[in-house]
Amino acid sequence: MKNKHDNRSLPANRNYKDTIFRWLFSDKNNLLSLYNAIAGAHYQNPEALNIVTLENAVYMGMKNDLAFVLETGLYLYEHQSTYNPNIPLRDLFYIASEYQSLINQRTLYSSTLQTIPTPKFLVFYNGTDENIPDRLELRLSDAYENYSENPDLELKVTMLNINSDHNFELLKNCHVLWEYSQYVTRVRKYATMMSLNDAVNLAITECIQEGILTEFLSHNRAEVLKVSIFEYDKEKEEKLIRKAEFDYGKAMGLADGVISLLEEKGRLSEDQINSIRRETRPEKQTEWFKLAIKVDTIDEFFKKANIKRQ
């Protein structure tokens, strides 16, 4: 099934840092279809949507793919290929800017209540983490240093897993979303078998032949190729950063364990402590942790670990 509304051409000044998701659903017809599928609604007129995405948000340290007003609701949609627990905090900054923009011509100091559209925050996840369920709720209060059962300020974000093996009903009710999911699945599959450039080209060709985003991919093939490669590279980079952060945290945790074990055997100098903490490889810290258990003295540990103090 083709979607007659997904064939928009790419503007000449398009920012390649945009995502295929945002590109597809910046089209009001596709966006309305997505909204209807999520809300179980049956709106027919795409012009009822008022897109209010803040185009300069990325320069303000914020990010949101799509923001729109429909009747009395303000909806913030974001696509993510890597899990990020800080989305509620980011959305807090973003929604404040949205409201500031929407009520710019009104006064907040009058005796009349200034009404604002009710916000709804959604994230569409299509990363490779198999532990992400169909639906997940993230809360701003999860970031609070002191837990409160009823915090004065709360913001909830619903994360929906849109990979092809999740949320079947949602994908069935929004065909463009299903097509997008199929395209991403193929790019990822072929990227494990060939170069990224070839993988994206093959995925595009195959989707066109099978009626998946046919008009969109046919009209914008070169640009889709560039955007897809950028997205995939960015996803890989984020994974590497997360792994490095995880490894560092694990190494420092083990280093604390090594230091604690050695302090049971005597007093460590600041230089000795720093020399242990300089090692950021988890496997080496694991080795040292086992050694710290076995040795009888601090000097024996440093000699067998071959740690050079600076």
Confidence category of residue 159, pLDDT binned at 50, 70, 90: very high
Where is the domain boundary, 204, 219, 234? 219
Q: What predicted TM-score, i.e. pTM, was given to this entire model?
A: 0.70
**Residue scoring higher pLDDT (63 or 264):** 264
Residues 212 and 278 in one domain: no
Helix (H/G/I), strand (E/B), else coil: 143:
helix
Where is the domain boundary, 219, 237, 258? 219
Where is the domain boundary, 199, 219, 239? 219
- Taking only the tens place, the pLDDT of each residue in 219-262 is 999 999 888 887 776 666 556 566 666 777 888 888 898 898 88
Residues 252 and 196 in one domain: no
Residues 214 and 69 in one domain: yes
- Taking only the tens place, the pLDDT of each residue in 83-133 is 888 899 999 999 998 998 888 656 777 778 888 999 999 999 998 888 899
Instruction: Note whether residue 12 is domain-resident.
Output: no
Residues 33 and 126 in one domain: yes
Helix (H/G/I), strand (E/B), else coil: 184:
helix
Residues 72 and 204 in one domain: yes
Instruction: Note whether residue 163 is domain-resident.
Output: yes
Are 273 and 256 contacting, i.e. CB atoms less than 8 angstroms apart? Answer: no
Instruction: Note whether residue 8 is domain-resident.
Output: no
Other C-beta atoms closer than 10 Å to the C-beta of 278 total 12
Residues 214 and 251 in one domain: no
Measured CA to CA, the distance from residue 251 to residue 247 in angstroms comes to 6
Instruction: Note whether residue 236 is domain-resident.
Output: no
**Residue scoring higher pLDDT (13 or 201):** 201
- Taking only the tens place, the pLDDT of each residue in 162-196 is 999 999 999 999 999 999 999 999 999 998 999 88
Number of domains in the chain: 2
Helix (H/G/I), strand (E/B), else coil: 70:
strand
Instruction: Note whether residue 7 is domain-resident.
Output: no
Confidence category of residue 287, pLDDT binned at 50, 70, 90: confident
Name the residue range of residue 124's domain: 20-219
Residues 40 and 188 in one domain: yes
Residues 43 and 81 in one domain: yes
The DSSP symbol for 164 reads T
Residues 211 and 279 in one domain: no
Measured CA to CA, the distance from residue 221 to residue 206 in angstroms comes to 12
- Record the tokens describing residue 269, joined without a space: 């100098």
Residues 51 and 162 in one domain: yes
